[in-house]
Structures are given as structure tokens and as C-alpha cells.
């Protein structure tokens, strides 16, 4: 099976712009989670989607949003970019999103905000 894919891999934006990141989960996986990774804050949970519904949300401002499509592919959007949004954004998928399940991570999208 193909792994989790994320596009684009690298992105450079300027402050105030918006950005959309895409994630394709492993075939058959219905849960998709997003994490932000920075040197200072480490790995932080953004949100999780299952069957096109957001089930769980981390402690991030409303500028961070996401959605999931009927084929389980997911996108996350960050509006009005700030310098502090520069990070590696990781997507992970699992079958149903249960707490015992392994989450399989994609390679990430590295976002640089200038």
C-alpha cells in the first residue's frame, strides 16, 4: 500500500497570505490528523477528521482550519499567515482514529513564512 502523501513538500509564503496543504491517507484509512512541529513547541495536535467531520481540535486559533472529503483526503488551511506559523506540518492517518491504533505519518509540508 502506498503511504501517506502530502503536497506540497515545501512552501514559502509571506505574512498575511493564506495557504492550503493537502494530505492523502493510506487507502482504507478514514481518520486523518494534523500536527504542527516547531523547534520551540515540538509536536502539537491541530485537529482530527473522520468521515468528513472534525472530531477533535487542538488549541490553535481559528486561522487554522481543515476539512475532509468523501474519499478521506484532507486539507488544512491557514489564513492570515504569521511568522510563527513557520513549521513542519505533518499529516497522519489511521483506520478509525482509535487511541490504540497506529497513526501513520506523511513526510510533512515545510512552510516558511517571510
Partner 1 sequence: AQSVTQLGSHVSVSEGALVLLRCNYSSSVPPYLFWYVQYPNQGLQLLLKYTSAATLVKGINGFEAEFKKSETSFHLTKPSAHMSDAAEYFCAVSDEWGSNYKLTFGKGTLLTVNP
Interface with partner 1 (CB under 8 A): 4, 33, 35, 42-45, 48, 55-56, 58, 90, 92, 97-100, 102-108
Collapse the DSSP code of 84 into the 3-class scheme (helix H, G, I; strand E, B; otherwise coil) and give the result: helix
Q: Nearest distance from residue 90's CB to partner 1, in Å? A: 6
Q: How far is CA 110 from the centre of its chain?
A: 11
The smaller minimum CB distance to partner 1, of residues 8 and 107, is found at: 107
DSSP state of 80: S
The smaller minimum CB distance to partner 1, of residues 10 and 70, is found at: 10
Q: Rounded CA gap, 11 and 88, in Å?
A: 10
Q: Rounded CA gap, 26 and 24, in Å?
A: 7
The smaller minimum CB distance to partner 1, of residues 28 and 42, is found at: 42
Q: Nearest distance from residue 86's CB to partner 1, in Å? A: 16
Q: Nearest distance from residue 80's CB to partner 1, in Å? A: 25
The smaller minimum CB distance to partner 1, of residues 3 and 16, is found at: 3
Choose among 32, 81, 34, 39: nearest CA to 53: 32
Amino acid at each position: 500500500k502506498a503511504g501517506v502523501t502530502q503536497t506540497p513538500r515545501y512552501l514559502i509564503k509571506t505574512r498575511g497570505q493564506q495557504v492550503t496543504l493537502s494530505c492523502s491517507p493510506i487507502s482504507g484509512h478514514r481518520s486523518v490528523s494534523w500536527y504542527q512541529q516547531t523547534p520551540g513547541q515540538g509536536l502539537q495536535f491541530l485537529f482530527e477528521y473522520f468521515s468528513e467531520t472534525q472530531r477533535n481540535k487542538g488549541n490553535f486559533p481559528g486561522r487554522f482550519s481543515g476539512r475532509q472529503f468523501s474519499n478521506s483526503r484532507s486539507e488544512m488551511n491557514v489564513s492570515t499567515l504569521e511568522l510563527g506559523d513557520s513549521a513542519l506540518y505533518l499529516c497522519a492517518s489511521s483506520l478509525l482514529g482509535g487511541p490504540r491504533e497506529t497513526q501513520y505519518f506523511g513526510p510533512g509540508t515545510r512552510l516558511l513564512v517571510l
